[in-house]
Amino acid sequence: MTHHALRTAPSPTPQEAGSSPAAGTGPVIGRALRILGAFSAQRPDLSLSELARRSGLPVSTVHRMLGGLLM
């Protein structure tokens, strides 16, 4: 029996993730993780604009997704 190591692809940069209209901003889970990953121990509170900037997502996307995450 052989074992295969799982490899993860590097996360795309915000420019790569939204580089074409067909690519959009990525899968929903990926976008949610980018938003959550914007927070840190040093920055536990972020404004909508800061979240958008740090996640590389449009403000409208962050606003919409935060509504879903807060439910």
pTM of the prediction?
0.60
The DSSP secondary-structure symbol of 47 reads -
Quote the pLDDT of residue 69.
82
Cα angle: 40, vertex 44, 45; to 5 degrees: 135
**CA 57 to CA 32: how far, in whole Å?**
10
Residues 14-61 have pLDDT tens digits of 544 444 443 456 689 999 999 999 999 999 999 999 999 999 999 999
Quote the pLDDT of residue 13.
53
